[in-house]
Amino acid sequence: MRGGIATGVGSWPGADPRESAATIVGELGDLPHLVELPGRGAGADMVGRVSALLVDMRFDTTTRGYRLAPRPGAVSRRARDLLRTDLDALEEAWETAGYAESGRTVKVQAAGPLTLAAQVELPGGHRVLTDPGAVRDLSESLAEGLAQHVAEVRKRLGAEVVLQLDEPSLTAVLDGSLRGVSVLNTVRAMPEPEALAVLDAVITAQSVPVLVHSCAEPPALRFLRTSAAAALGFDVATIGTRDLDAIGESLDAGKHLALGLIPTTAPSTPTTWRDIAEPGVRLIDRLGFPRKTLRSHIIVTPACGLATASAKWSRRALELAVETARAFAEEPESLTFD
């Protein structure tokens, strides 16, 4: 993994996998990613998509979302079909761009084990998070399935792979703010050592670098800096003074940061790459790191997924990410702001 490059978080507007893959591969040449298109419905969103990756476990739908199912059903079959279509589209775009067997790197994403345990229900309606045995089974199935998924992508594309684990529910898991099946039923806060063991078990089971991304506000950066992840991703707009020590310690430990600098919806006024770059540069300056850190350890991304953005802004967001990353890679020391 290297810095001074741009990538997307994962989700994208629309429902056309081939057009989306061609756009992502074309715009994000340094680190394109397998596109997620949640607009296609059940089995295509971040959580439902994991049903296509799990080993010997499947999901079914409920009025609230997803639950563990005793056998494969329509949802798991649809998730598998959609993922297969997305991989075919990526492979086609990869070959069209001339990247086959080029040794380039691609990123794939999946919901992390703690978010899955928070969002998926047991057959009885309680969250998986309430049953330690079920959490263990789900995370082990996920770890094995992700390893197989990464191996398939590597074989199909002839590429190096980076795995991103999305943990938007991480903060709620740690602070105990998740609701139970009724107002009288609460979900306990998971102790940090227990949560870290679950997350790291999935990370260390992989043979590729792992980026953990969270759009939570605030992101649990103090917790994540102690994880086995090679990189941490977060929305820069959600951090405060309380997070600076954790960010600095993460950089000191050699972790990369995927800074979510580009808003997920179009700003009311025209935005340039300099507007986007400024918060990232000021963060590194405030932490006391040399500007070359922008080149070596910073990856530029949108703040979160772009599924709800307009097609026009989504493309512009990628352009801004690439322009900003190029400035970080080429001239970080000379960047000045009024």
pLDDT digits (tens, 9 = 90+) for 207-265: 999 999 999 989 999 999 999 999 999 999 999 999 999 999 999 999 999 999 999 99
Residue 299, both tokens: 């990856």
219: left (phi over 0), alpha (psi -120 to 50) or beta: beta
pLDDT of residue 2: 84
Percent of the chain past pLDDT 70, that is, above it, reads 99
- In the chain, what are the domains? 5-334 (3.20.20.210)
* Strand order from edge to edge, sheet including 58-61: 58-61, 66-69, 120-121
Give me the phi and psi of 106, to 5 degrees please.
-130, 150
Q: In 97-243, which ranges are continuous DSSP H helix?
A: 113-119, 132-157, 170-175, 192-204, 221-224
Residue 47, both tokens: 């959580």
Angle between helices 74-96 and 132-157 (to 10 degrees): 30
pLDDT of residue 184: 66
Is the pLDDT assigned to residue 205 strictly greater than 70? yes
Is the pLDDT assigned to residue 296 strictly greater than 90? yes
What average pLDDT does this structure show over 282-297? 96
pLDDT of residue 331: 84
What average pLDDT does this structure show over 82-107? 94
pLDDT 10s digits, 105-120: 999 999 999 999 999 9
Strand partners, 24: none
Is the pLDDT assigned to residue 101 strictly greater than 90? no
Is the pLDDT assigned to residue 185 strictly greater than 80? no
Is the pLDDT assigned to residue 183 strictly greater than 70? no
Question: Helix and strand tally (H, E) in the chain?
Answer: 11, 10
Is the pLDDT assigned to residue 320 strictly greater than 70? yes
Q: Return mean pLDDT, the chain.
A: 94
- Positive or negative, the CA dihedral 233, 235, 240, 242 is negative
pLDDT of residue 73: 82
pLDDT 10s digits, 129-175: 999 999 999 999 999 999 999 999 999 999 999 999 999 999 999 99
Is the pLDDT assigned to residue 337 strictly greater than 90? no
- Number of other CB atoms surrounding residue 80 within 10 Å: 17
pLDDT of residue 63: 85
Q: Does the pTM exceed 0.85?
A: yes
Distance CA 290, CA 299 (A): 16
pLDDT of residue 100: 83
Q: Residue 191: which residues within 8 A CB-CB, separation 6 or more?
A: none
Residue 39, both tokens: 């607009």
The band of 103, judged by pLDDT with boundaries at 50, 70 and 90, is confident
Strands 5-6 and 298-302: parallel
Comparison of pLDDT for 71 and 23, the residue scoring more: 23
- Number of other CB atoms surrounding residue 71 within 10 Å: 7
